[in-house]
Structure 1
Amino acid sequence: MAPVSSQDAAAVFDPLRPALVRVAYRMLGSVAEAEDVVQDAFLRWLGIDRGAVREPTAFLRRVVTRLCLDRLKSVRRERAAYVGSWLPEPIVESGEDVVDDVTLPLLMALERLSPLERAAFLLHDVFGLGFEEVAATIGRDPTACRQLAGRARAHVRADRPRYPVPKEWGLEIAKAFFTASRDGEMERLRALLAADVTVYADGGGKATAHGAPLSGLDSVMLLFATFASAFAESRSRLVRYGVINGLPGFITVERGDILQTTALELENGRIVGIYVVRNPDKLKHIAETLH
């Protein structure tokens, strides 16, 4: 039998690539890391006897998950030394995206899990695999996988969206927040925020951002009051509104030509979380789409 060509291998792999990147991104919280892992999986796919693989989707998902588990060891060490607040790289939803309930707060909650808990939870609760397949993927027996997923579920339950917000309504709140915050309309801004609102800003030491998360309505209002003069002097340039990691938000270019994403977590009609990413390393994939 003639060997299967690399073109034939790519013909099988390429349609699966977007789904594999989704798995890797939710495991790692990094677009670049996810794409690297999936490319590593493709190179492994080229180097095996593909004729012996009965289910390429399951096989490749297994390869990607195991590569992610290996990579998480070094990733967790790097994030422990990260400058300021760490946020996942933002993904801005397009019309073709598959939407699930892995929102930005849930991605952050997944960071508190062990790698195996994270894998079991994502594969079973998010991607809908049975525990037999989860077990084959992460190399544990089904009972252990059930326990791993259960522990993870208990840890992240509060960070899953209990009352999903209709997309149009969420984007209307994002528009109102952008206008009030950039125009210095403090009373309108206050009306949009919950009493326990928290601001997270990720500059990664490469763009200006306050360090630790800032919580409480008065503290957050004071923060935006200090920004008011800067916004008045150099107006943010709105790129577009959109859904960012499952949350309504917007992309802007700020003073100094700094690209920024802002995502808003909503609860009971008020903003409870403001997630700002300014680290240019985390926005390269977005910047590329703007040129």
Structure 2
Amino acid sequence: MTDVQVEDFEAHRPSLWAIAYRMLGSASEAEDVVQETWLRWQSASREGIRSGRAFLSAVATRLCLDHLKSARARREVYVGPWLPEPVHTDAQVDPETISFAFLVLLESLTPMERAVYLLNEVFGYSHAEVAQMLGKEEASCRQLLHRAREHLVSRRPRFAPSKEAHARMVTSFLSACSSGDLEGIKRLLAEDVTAWADGGGKVSAATRLVHGVEAVARQYQGLLNKMMKVPGSTLETSEVNGWPALVVRLNGAVFDVISFETDGERIHAIHAVLNPDKLARL
């Protein structure tokens, strides 16, 4: 292993983690994939490798596909809804491709659809490159990409909000919940609003999705108002996965991260992560 090869890998480390995190929805598992990719890079023959970036991305993506096979069995026995692990991101990351709402949508794709979509749409690989990286026919990859696009477009809000409009929605929601203003909360919610809560069976959390304005408004009116009265608790807005979110702390430690899917005028989904295993990095 030469210094140049080490430098080549380190130059691509951020993009490898970015691929793995979007594929798996787990920052810790993404780091495991990057480490395994490094081991494969060390032992790989350099003959025939025309692009280190493409080779490494292919290895990382295939490792993610292997991880997802075992993850499927684990999620079948997971207590309550499964949500991705929230992370802080830097300003250079496109917030649209790291948002919590986007990651949740990716979970609705098959693993191979997800891989093809991410490599082509987010990371800019050509159809031919994606086909070679995944060991599939180009026509098959195009079909997978078409299905993924159609699926995502049908489920995403028609209008993407600006970050400023999104932040105003989050602040208004916090204000209404903190004051116990049930009608104020309702005015912020879309008719099709759904609330998710991921406690992983380790903390108290709803184990089923909550649907509709009335049910979601009453849930959060009670939860956040009660949380604000707990000694040592704080509730603040913070940027998580590229977008403003609510972060609940107990005695300084993150207890709950609440992310929102909005169109700038109404909240369509609320994703609350309480599983402590998913909050350790924040």
Deviations 1:190-211 (A, max 9, x none): 2222222211111111121111
Among 61, 71, 74, the alignment partner of 2:70 is: 74
State percent identity of aligned pairs: 40
1:135-159: CA deviations, max 9, x gaps? 0111101001111111222222223
Write the distance in 2 (CA, Å) between the matches of 1:268 and 1:59: 40
Give the gaps of 5 or more residues in structure 2.
none
Distance 1:156 1:44, change over 3 A: same
Inter-CA distance 250–94: structure 2 relative to 1 (3 Å threshold): farther
Distance 2:94 2:120 in 1: 17
- Seen in structure 2, the aligned counterparts of structure 1 residues 257 and 130 have a Cα distance that, compared at 3 Å, is closer
Query: 1:254 deviation in Å?
Result: 4.5
Partner of 1:209: 205
Q: CA deviation at 1:8?
A: 3.7
Query: Does residue 130 in structure 1 map to residue 126 in structure 2?
Result: yes
Select 1:92's aligned residue among 79, 88, 92. Answer: 88
Higher deviation after alignment, 200-209 or 86-95: 86-95
* 2:162 and 2:264 in contact (8 A); partners too: no
Once structures 1 and 2 are overlaid, which stretch shifts more, 118-127 or 244-253? 244-253
Matches of 2:68 and 2:253 in 1, distance apart?
A: 32
Show the 5 A alignment for 1:141-290: 141-227=137-223, 230-234=226-230, 236-242=233-239, 244-254=240-250, 259-267=255-263, 269-286=265-282
Contact 2:254 2:279 in 1 (8 A): no
Q: Cα RMSD (Å) of the superposition?
A: 2.2
TM-score for the superposition, normalised by structure 1: 0.88
Q: Once the 2 structures are TM-superposed, how far is the Cα of residue 225 of structure 1 from its aligned partner? A: 3.7
Q: Give the letter aligned to residue 129 of structure 2.
A: E
- What is the Cα deviation at residue 256 of structure 1? 10
C-alpha separation between the residues in 2 aligned to 1:224 and 1:143?
A: 47
Q: Is residue 89 of structure 2 the alignment partner of residue 105 of structure 1?
A: no
Q: Which amino acid aligns with 2:234?
A: R
Shift of 1:131: 0.9
Indicate yes or no: 2:14 matched with 1:41: no
Q: Report the CA distance between 1:109 and its aligned residue.
A: 2.6
Change (3 A) 1:246 1:96: closer
Residue 270 to residue 169, structure 1, CA distance change in 2 (3 Å): same
Q: Return the match for 2:11 from 15, 18, 21.
A: 15
In 1, Cα distance between equivalents of 2:156 and 2:192: 18
* Amino acid in the other structure paired with 1:71: H
Alignment partners' CA distance in 1, 2:226 and 2:99: 31
In 2: Cα distance, 1:249 partner to 1:98 partner = 16
1:179 shift after superposition = 2.1
User: Counterpart of 1:211 in structure 2: which amino acid?
Assistant: T
* Structure 2 SS opposite 1:285: coil
Equivalent of residue 55 in structure 1, options 26, 51, 56: 51
Provide the residue aligned with 1:120 in structure 2. 116
From 23, 38, 41, the equivalent of 1:27 is 23
